[in-house]
Amino acid sequence: MSQSLELNLTSPAFKADPYPAFAWLRTDDPVHQLASSGGQSTWLITRYVDAEIALRDQRFIKDRKNLLSPKARKALPASQPSAADLMTLMMTDVDPPDHTRLRSLANLAFTPRRVEQWRPRIQQITDELIDAVAAKGHMDLIEEFAFPLPLKVILEMLGIPMSDGPQVHTWTKAIADALGDPVASAQVSPHLQAFYLYLHALIETRRKTLTNDLVSSWIRAEGEQLSTRELVTMVFLLIVAGHDTTGSLIGTSMLALLTHPEQLALLRQQPALIKTAIEEFLRYRSPFMHATLRWASEDVLLGDKLIRRGDQVIISLASANRDDQAFAEPNTLDITRQENPHLAFGKGIHFCLGAQLARLEGQIAISTLIHCLPHLRLQTDPQSLVWRPGSLALGLDHLPVLF
Protein backbone atom coordinates (compact mmCIF):
# COMPACT_ATOMS: atom_id res chain seq x y z
CA MET A 1 0.00 0.00 0.00
CA SER A 2 1.63 3.24 -1.16
CA GLN A 3 0.47 5.35 1.79
CA SER A 4 3.01 3.56 4.01
CA LEU A 5 5.75 5.14 1.94
CA GLU A 6 4.23 8.62 2.05
CA LEU A 7 3.99 9.24 5.78
CA ASN A 8 4.51 12.89 6.64
CA LEU A 9 4.36 12.71 10.40
CA THR A 10 4.64 16.49 10.89
CA SER A 11 1.97 17.44 8.34
CA PRO A 12 -1.28 19.01 9.64
CA ALA A 13 -3.15 17.20 6.85
CA PHE A 14 -1.79 13.81 7.96
CA LYS A 15 -2.45 14.56 11.63
CA ALA A 16 -6.10 15.34 10.93
CA ASP A 17 -6.67 11.60 10.40
CA PRO A 18 -3.54 9.44 10.73
CA TYR A 19 -5.48 6.39 11.89
CA PRO A 20 -6.10 4.58 8.57
CA ALA A 21 -2.39 4.69 7.77
CA PHE A 22 -1.49 3.53 11.28
CA ALA A 23 -4.03 0.67 11.04
CA TRP A 24 -2.43 -0.56 7.82
CA LEU A 25 1.05 -0.35 9.36
CA ARG A 26 0.01 -2.26 12.47
CA THR A 27 -1.22 -5.12 10.28
CA ASP A 28 1.34 -5.16 7.48
CA ASP A 29 4.51 -3.48 8.75
CA PRO A 30 4.29 -2.75 12.50
CA VAL A 31 8.00 -1.96 12.89
CA HIS A 32 8.32 0.25 9.83
CA GLN A 33 11.58 1.57 8.42
CA LEU A 34 10.94 5.25 7.78
CA ALA A 35 14.41 6.14 6.51
CA SER A 36 17.95 4.85 6.25
CA SER A 37 21.14 6.84 5.78
CA GLY A 38 24.80 6.19 6.48
CA GLY A 39 24.09 2.75 7.85
CA GLN A 40 21.60 4.07 10.40
CA SER A 41 17.82 3.67 10.17
CA THR A 42 14.77 5.34 11.67
CA TRP A 43 11.98 2.99 12.75
CA LEU A 44 8.31 3.75 13.42
CA ILE A 45 6.67 1.45 15.98
CA THR A 46 2.89 1.29 15.70
CA ARG A 47 1.54 -1.78 17.55
CA TYR A 48 0.56 -1.51 21.21
CA VAL A 49 2.54 -4.57 22.32
CA ASP A 50 5.73 -3.34 20.63
CA ALA A 51 5.23 0.24 21.80
CA GLU A 52 4.83 -0.82 25.44
CA ILE A 53 7.98 -2.94 25.24
CA ALA A 54 9.99 -0.13 23.63
CA LEU A 55 8.83 2.48 26.15
CA ARG A 56 10.01 0.29 29.03
CA ASP A 57 13.17 -1.15 27.45
CA GLN A 58 16.20 0.75 28.72
CA ARG A 59 18.22 -0.45 25.74
CA PHE A 60 16.38 2.33 23.91
CA ILE A 61 18.20 5.36 25.29
CA LYS A 62 17.39 9.08 25.17
CA ASP A 63 20.89 10.64 25.00
CA ARG A 64 22.56 9.82 21.71
CA LYS A 65 25.99 10.60 23.16
CA ASN A 66 25.65 7.46 25.28
CA LEU A 67 26.23 5.46 22.11
CA LEU A 68 29.86 6.55 22.27
CA SER A 69 32.48 4.65 24.22
CA PRO A 70 33.49 6.24 27.55
CA LYS A 71 36.82 7.23 25.96
CA ALA A 72 35.18 8.81 22.91
CA ARG A 73 32.65 10.65 25.05
CA LYS A 74 35.37 12.00 27.30
CA ALA A 75 37.19 13.30 24.21
CA LEU A 76 34.19 15.38 23.13
CA PRO A 77 34.77 19.13 23.49
CA ALA A 78 33.00 20.62 26.47
CA SER A 79 29.77 22.26 25.39
CA GLN A 80 29.11 25.84 26.39
CA PRO A 81 25.82 27.11 27.85
CA SER A 82 23.52 28.19 25.03
CA ALA A 83 19.90 28.15 23.88
CA ALA A 84 20.56 24.67 22.49
CA ASP A 85 20.53 23.42 26.10
CA LEU A 86 16.75 23.80 26.09
CA MET A 87 16.47 21.02 23.53
CA THR A 88 19.33 18.74 24.61
CA LEU A 89 19.54 18.84 28.42
CA MET A 90 15.89 18.36 29.32
CA MET A 91 15.04 15.56 31.72
CA THR A 92 13.18 13.83 28.88
CA ASP A 93 16.42 13.65 26.87
CA VAL A 94 18.79 12.14 29.43
CA ASP A 95 19.38 8.64 30.78
CA PRO A 96 20.09 7.34 34.29
CA PRO A 97 21.78 8.26 36.55
CA ASP A 98 21.19 11.92 35.53
CA HIS A 99 17.56 11.25 34.73
CA THR A 100 17.02 9.64 38.14
CA ARG A 101 18.54 12.63 39.93
CA LEU A 102 16.55 15.22 37.98
CA ARG A 103 13.32 13.26 38.21
CA SER A 104 13.61 12.94 41.99
CA LEU A 105 13.88 16.73 42.30
CA ALA A 106 10.89 17.38 40.07
CA ASN A 107 8.72 14.59 41.53
CA LEU A 108 8.31 16.39 44.84
CA ALA A 109 5.97 18.95 43.28
CA PHE A 110 3.78 16.39 41.50
CA THR A 111 2.81 13.89 44.17
CA PRO A 112 -0.94 13.13 44.23
CA ARG A 113 -1.32 15.11 47.47
CA ARG A 114 0.47 18.17 46.10
CA VAL A 115 -1.51 18.07 42.86
CA GLU A 116 -4.84 17.72 44.66
CA GLN A 117 -4.06 20.89 46.64
CA TRP A 118 -4.32 22.81 43.36
CA ARG A 119 -7.95 21.74 42.75
CA PRO A 120 -9.61 24.91 44.18
CA ARG A 121 -7.26 27.21 42.26
CA ILE A 122 -7.72 25.29 38.99
CA GLN A 123 -11.49 25.55 39.45
CA GLN A 124 -11.20 29.28 40.12
CA ILE A 125 -9.12 29.90 37.00
CA THR A 126 -11.55 27.80 34.94
CA ASP A 127 -14.52 29.82 36.20
CA GLU A 128 -12.73 33.11 35.46
CA LEU A 129 -11.92 32.09 31.90
CA ILE A 130 -15.54 31.09 31.22
CA ASP A 131 -16.88 34.28 32.83
CA ALA A 132 -14.58 36.33 30.58
CA VAL A 133 -16.23 35.01 27.40
CA ALA A 134 -19.77 34.19 28.58
CA ALA A 135 -21.31 37.44 27.36
CA LYS A 136 -19.85 37.09 23.84
CA GLY A 137 -21.62 33.88 22.97
CA HIS A 138 -18.59 32.56 21.10
CA MET A 139 -14.87 31.92 21.56
CA ASP A 140 -11.82 30.20 20.19
CA LEU A 141 -11.80 27.37 22.70
CA ILE A 142 -8.07 26.76 22.12
CA GLU A 143 -6.70 30.28 22.53
CA GLU A 144 -9.24 31.60 25.02
CA PHE A 145 -9.63 28.58 27.27
CA ALA A 146 -7.71 25.35 26.60
CA PHE A 147 -4.24 26.90 26.62
CA PRO A 148 -4.70 29.77 29.13
CA LEU A 149 -5.94 27.40 31.85
CA PRO A 150 -2.89 25.10 32.18
CA LEU A 151 -0.56 28.00 31.39
CA LYS A 152 -1.86 30.04 34.33
CA VAL A 153 -1.54 27.01 36.61
CA ILE A 154 2.05 26.18 35.66
CA LEU A 155 3.12 29.84 35.83
CA GLU A 156 1.76 30.06 39.38
CA MET A 157 3.46 26.82 40.35
CA LEU A 158 6.78 28.10 39.02
CA GLY A 159 6.31 31.62 40.36
CA ILE A 160 6.44 33.31 36.95
CA PRO A 161 4.59 36.64 36.54
CA MET A 162 1.17 36.10 34.97
CA SER A 163 1.76 39.14 32.76
CA ASP A 164 4.48 37.16 30.96
CA GLY A 165 1.99 34.43 30.01
CA PRO A 166 1.12 35.61 26.47
CA GLN A 167 4.79 35.88 25.47
CA VAL A 168 5.62 32.52 27.04
CA HIS A 169 2.72 30.92 25.15
CA THR A 170 3.92 32.40 21.85
CA TRP A 171 7.43 31.01 22.36
CA THR A 172 6.19 27.62 23.51
CA LYS A 173 3.73 27.09 20.66
CA ALA A 174 6.26 28.17 18.02
CA ILE A 175 8.92 25.80 19.37
CA ALA A 176 6.53 22.84 19.74
CA ASP A 177 5.15 23.31 16.23
CA ALA A 178 8.66 23.26 14.74
CA LEU A 179 9.74 19.93 16.23
CA GLY A 180 10.72 17.38 13.61
CA ASP A 181 10.86 19.90 10.75
CA PRO A 182 14.43 21.08 9.97
CA VAL A 183 13.26 24.18 8.07
CA ALA A 184 10.79 25.24 10.77
CA SER A 185 13.35 24.50 13.49
CA ALA A 186 15.81 26.92 11.89
CA GLN A 187 13.13 29.60 11.60
CA VAL A 188 12.14 29.25 15.25
CA SER A 189 15.70 29.79 16.51
CA PRO A 190 15.03 33.44 17.53
CA HIS A 191 12.12 32.28 19.72
CA LEU A 192 14.34 29.70 21.39
CA GLN A 193 17.07 32.27 22.03
CA ALA A 194 14.61 34.80 23.46
CA PHE A 195 13.05 32.18 25.72
CA TYR A 196 16.50 31.09 26.91
CA LEU A 197 17.51 34.65 27.82
CA TYR A 198 14.17 35.20 29.54
CA LEU A 199 14.63 32.11 31.73
CA HIS A 200 18.14 33.16 32.74
CA ALA A 201 16.89 36.61 33.71
CA LEU A 202 13.97 35.08 35.63
CA ILE A 203 16.28 32.81 37.62
CA GLU A 204 18.73 35.62 38.38
CA THR A 205 15.87 37.76 39.68
CA ARG A 206 14.48 34.93 41.78
CA ARG A 207 17.86 34.24 43.38
CA LYS A 208 17.62 37.65 45.05
CA THR A 209 14.20 36.91 46.57
CA LEU A 210 13.44 33.25 47.13
CA THR A 211 9.81 32.29 47.78
CA ASN A 212 7.82 29.04 48.01
CA ASP A 213 7.50 28.42 44.28
CA LEU A 214 9.14 25.64 42.26
CA VAL A 215 11.84 27.83 40.75
CA SER A 216 12.93 28.88 44.23
CA SER A 217 13.00 25.28 45.44
CA TRP A 218 15.24 24.28 42.54
CA ILE A 219 17.52 27.27 43.12
CA ARG A 220 17.96 26.02 46.68
CA ALA A 221 19.00 22.64 45.21
CA GLU A 222 21.42 24.27 42.77
CA GLY A 223 25.04 23.26 43.14
CA GLU A 224 25.14 19.82 44.73
CA GLN A 225 21.94 18.45 43.15
CA LEU A 226 21.39 20.59 40.07
CA SER A 227 23.60 22.56 37.70
CA THR A 228 22.57 26.02 36.51
CA ARG A 229 22.14 24.68 32.97
CA GLU A 230 19.90 21.90 34.26
CA LEU A 231 17.90 24.41 36.28
CA VAL A 232 17.18 26.47 33.17
CA THR A 233 16.08 23.42 31.18
CA MET A 234 13.97 22.11 34.07
CA VAL A 235 11.96 25.35 34.11
CA PHE A 236 11.68 25.25 30.32
CA LEU A 237 10.41 21.66 30.32
CA LEU A 238 7.80 22.34 32.99
CA ILE A 239 6.47 25.36 31.10
CA VAL A 240 6.25 23.54 27.77
CA ALA A 241 4.96 20.22 29.06
CA GLY A 242 2.87 21.88 31.75
CA HIS A 243 0.62 23.76 29.37
CA ASP A 244 1.09 22.76 25.73
CA THR A 245 0.18 19.10 26.14
CA THR A 246 -2.74 19.75 28.50
CA GLY A 247 -4.02 22.52 26.25
CA SER A 248 -4.09 20.06 23.36
CA LEU A 249 -5.84 17.48 25.56
CA ILE A 250 -8.62 19.90 26.52
CA GLY A 251 -9.09 21.03 22.93
CA THR A 252 -9.23 17.57 21.36
CA SER A 253 -11.41 16.26 24.18
CA MET A 254 -13.99 18.96 23.53
CA LEU A 255 -13.82 18.30 19.79
CA ALA A 256 -14.46 14.62 20.47
CA LEU A 257 -17.51 15.43 22.61
CA LEU A 258 -18.91 18.01 20.20
CA THR A 259 -18.67 15.54 17.31
CA HIS A 260 -20.18 12.71 19.39
CA PRO A 261 -23.37 14.29 20.79
CA GLU A 262 -24.53 11.05 22.40
CA GLN A 263 -21.33 10.95 24.47
CA LEU A 264 -21.70 14.62 25.40
CA ALA A 265 -25.29 14.02 26.51
CA LEU A 266 -24.20 11.02 28.56
CA LEU A 267 -21.50 13.00 30.35
CA ARG A 268 -23.97 15.78 31.13
CA GLN A 269 -26.41 13.22 32.53
CA GLN A 270 -23.71 11.42 34.53
CA PRO A 271 -21.00 13.92 35.56
CA ALA A 272 -19.25 11.23 37.62
CA LEU A 273 -18.10 9.67 34.34
CA ILE A 274 -15.54 12.45 33.91
CA LYS A 275 -12.64 10.32 35.19
CA THR A 276 -13.18 7.49 32.72
CA ALA A 277 -14.01 10.09 30.07
CA ILE A 278 -10.60 11.77 30.45
CA GLU A 279 -8.84 8.43 30.09
CA GLU A 280 -10.85 7.76 26.94
CA PHE A 281 -10.01 11.20 25.50
CA LEU A 282 -6.34 10.50 26.19
CA ARG A 283 -6.62 7.23 24.30
CA TYR A 284 -8.86 8.41 21.47
CA ARG A 285 -6.77 11.49 20.55
CA SER A 286 -3.47 11.22 22.39
CA PRO A 287 -2.08 14.77 22.92
CA PHE A 288 1.33 13.44 21.83
CA MET A 289 1.25 11.61 18.50
CA HIS A 290 4.63 10.05 19.28
CA ALA A 291 6.86 9.60 22.29
CA THR A 292 10.08 11.59 22.40
CA LEU A 293 12.93 10.08 20.39
CA ARG A 294 15.00 7.09 21.43
CA TRP A 295 18.10 5.34 20.06
CA ALA A 296 19.03 1.67 20.25
CA SER A 297 22.10 1.22 22.47
CA GLU A 298 22.53 -2.33 21.13
CA ASP A 299 20.96 -4.54 18.47
CA VAL A 300 17.32 -5.23 19.42
CA LEU A 301 14.93 -7.65 17.73
CA LEU A 302 11.44 -6.14 17.84
CA GLY A 303 8.65 -7.91 16.04
CA ASP A 304 10.39 -9.44 13.06
CA LYS A 305 12.80 -6.52 12.52
CA LEU A 306 16.37 -6.12 13.74
CA ILE A 307 16.89 -2.62 15.04
CA ARG A 308 20.63 -1.98 14.90
CA ARG A 309 22.71 -0.20 17.48
CA GLY A 310 22.52 3.53 16.78
CA ASP A 311 19.17 3.36 14.97
CA GLN A 312 16.55 5.95 15.85
CA VAL A 313 13.19 4.79 17.19
CA ILE A 314 9.86 6.63 16.99
CA ILE A 315 7.07 5.13 19.10
CA SER A 316 3.60 6.09 17.90
CA LEU A 317 1.39 6.58 20.93
CA ALA A 318 -1.54 7.60 18.75
CA SER A 319 -1.32 4.36 16.79
CA ALA A 320 -0.82 2.12 19.83
CA ASN A 321 -3.88 3.65 21.47
CA ARG A 322 -6.06 2.63 18.49
CA ASP A 323 -4.75 -0.94 18.31
CA ASP A 324 -7.62 -3.44 18.12
CA GLN A 325 -5.40 -6.06 19.76
CA ALA A 326 -5.33 -3.93 22.92
CA PHE A 327 -8.72 -2.18 22.87
CA ALA A 328 -12.21 -3.32 21.93
CA GLU A 329 -13.63 -1.16 19.12
CA PRO A 330 -10.64 1.20 19.27
CA ASN A 331 -12.06 3.74 16.80
CA THR A 332 -15.20 4.20 18.90
CA LEU A 333 -15.29 6.96 21.53
CA ASP A 334 -16.69 5.38 24.70
CA ILE A 335 -16.46 7.50 27.86
CA THR A 336 -17.63 4.53 29.94
CA ARG A 337 -14.67 2.36 28.83
CA GLN A 338 -13.32 0.50 31.89
CA GLU A 339 -10.34 -1.41 30.51
CA ASN A 340 -8.21 1.45 29.22
CA PRO A 341 -4.43 0.90 29.58
CA HIS A 342 -3.61 3.67 27.10
CA LEU A 343 -0.05 4.87 26.52
CA ALA A 344 -0.79 8.60 26.23
CA PHE A 345 1.55 9.39 29.14
CA GLY A 346 4.16 6.81 28.13
CA LYS A 347 5.50 3.99 30.28
CA GLY A 348 8.60 3.18 32.26
CA ILE A 349 11.06 5.66 33.74
CA HIS A 350 10.00 8.42 31.34
CA PHE A 351 6.30 8.21 32.25
CA CYS A 352 4.88 11.75 32.13
CA LEU A 353 5.79 13.62 35.31
CA GLY A 354 2.68 15.81 35.19
CA ALA A 355 0.13 13.10 34.35
CA GLN A 356 -1.89 13.65 37.53
CA LEU A 357 -1.97 17.40 37.05
CA ALA A 358 -3.05 17.04 33.41
CA ARG A 359 -5.83 14.66 34.43
CA LEU A 360 -7.08 17.03 37.13
CA GLU A 361 -7.00 20.06 34.83
CA GLY A 362 -8.79 18.12 32.11
CA GLN A 363 -11.48 16.86 34.46
CA ILE A 364 -12.21 20.32 35.89
CA ALA A 365 -12.02 22.12 32.54
CA ILE A 366 -14.36 19.80 30.64
CA SER A 367 -16.84 19.27 33.48
CA THR A 368 -17.14 23.00 34.02
CA LEU A 369 -17.44 23.84 30.33
CA ILE A 370 -20.30 21.47 29.64
CA HIS A 371 -22.08 22.49 32.84
CA CYS A 372 -21.76 26.26 32.45
CA LEU A 373 -22.26 26.33 28.67
CA PRO A 374 -25.13 23.89 28.03
CA HIS A 375 -25.58 25.07 24.42
CA LEU A 376 -21.91 24.73 23.48
CA ARG A 377 -21.50 23.73 19.82
CA LEU A 378 -19.03 23.95 16.97
CA GLN A 379 -19.02 27.11 14.90
CA THR A 380 -17.45 25.42 11.88
CA ASP A 381 -17.33 22.14 9.97
CA PRO A 382 -14.96 19.74 11.80
CA GLN A 383 -13.32 18.94 8.45
CA SER A 384 -12.18 22.55 8.12
CA LEU A 385 -10.25 22.56 11.40
CA VAL A 386 -6.47 22.87 11.09
CA TRP A 387 -4.17 20.59 13.08
CA ARG A 388 -0.85 21.83 14.40
CA PRO A 389 2.38 20.89 12.63
CA GLY A 390 5.39 19.33 14.36
CA SER A 391 6.41 15.79 15.21
CA LEU A 392 4.96 15.54 18.72
CA ALA A 393 1.85 17.59 19.54
CA LEU A 394 -1.47 16.27 18.27
CA GLY A 395 -3.69 19.27 18.75
CA LEU A 396 -5.73 21.94 16.99
CA ASP A 397 -4.63 25.42 16.00
CA HIS A 398 -8.09 26.84 16.70
CA LEU A 399 -11.49 25.55 17.76
CA PRO A 400 -14.25 28.13 17.22
CA VAL A 401 -17.40 27.42 19.23
CA LEU A 402 -20.75 29.03 19.91
CA PHE A 403 -22.79 28.91 23.11
What are the pLDDT digits (tens) for 358-398? Answer: 999 999 999 999 999 999 999 999 999 999 998 888 999 99
pLDDT at position 181 is: 78
CA separation for the pair 232, 197 (Å, rounded): 10
Distances (CA, A) of 273 to 279, 280, 307, 372: 10, 11, 42, 17
SS3 content of the chain, % helix, strand, coil (to 5): 55, 10, 35
Between residues 4 and 67, which one has the greater pLDDT?
A: 67
pLDDT at position 39 is: 86
CB burial class (10 A; 0-12, 13-18, 19+) of residue 395? buried
Q: Which of 316, 329, 325, 243 is nearest to 280 (CA)?
A: 329
390: left (phi over 0), alpha (psi -120 to 50) or beta: left
List Cβ neighbours of 127 (8 Å cut-off, separation of 6 or more). Answer: 368, 372
Q: What is the pLDDT of residues 169-217, one digit of tens each?
A: 999 999 999 887 777 788 899 999 999 999 999 999 999 999 999 999 9
Whether residue 3 has pLDDT greater than 80: no
Whether residue 324 has pLDDT greater than 90: yes
Whether residue 267 has pLDDT greater than 50: yes
CA separation for the pair 401, 370 (Å, rounded): 12
For residue 4, name the pLDDT band (cuts at 50, 70, 90): very low
CA separation for the pair 359, 293 (Å, rounded): 24
Torsion angles phi and psi, residue 315, rounded to 5: -105, 115
Q: What is the pLDDT of residues 98-134, one digit of tens each?
A: 999 999 999 988 999 999 999 999 999 999 999 999 9
The number of domains in the chain is 1
Q: Which whole number is the average pLDDT over 35-51?
A: 94
| 392: three-class secondary structure by DSSP | coil
Whether residue 1 has pLDDT greater than 60: no
Is the Cβ–Cβ distance between 214 and 157 less than 8 Å?
A: yes
- State what percent of residues in the chain have pLDDT above 90: 87
pLDDT at position 184 is: 79
Range in 44-58, 63-77, 276-290 with the lowest mean pLDDT:
63-77
List Cβ neighbours of 78 (8 Å cut-off, separation of 6 or more). Answer: none
pLDDT at position 99 is: 95
Task: Return the CATH number at 194.
Answer: 1.10.630.10
CA separation for the pair 209, 330 (Å, rounded): 51
Q: Which of 153, 157, 109, 110 is nearest to 128 (CA)?
A: 153
List Cβ neighbours of 53 (8 Å cut-off, separation of 6 or more). Answer: 302
Range of the domain at 230: 2-73+81-402
The pLDDT mean for the chain works out to 94
Q: Which whole number is the average pLDDT over 263-268?
A: 98
For residue 32, name the pLDDT band (cuts at 50, 70, 90): very high
Is the Cβ–Cβ distance between 300 and 59 less than 8 Å?
A: yes
pLDDT at position 30 is: 97
Residue 378: its H or E element? strand 377-378
Whether residue 5 has pLDDT greater than 60: no
- State what percent of residues in the chain have pLDDT above 70: 99
How many residues are there in the chain? 403
CA separation for the pair 396, 168 (Å, rounded): 18
The dihedral built from the CA positions of residue 335, 340, 342 and 348, taken in this order, carries a sign that is positive
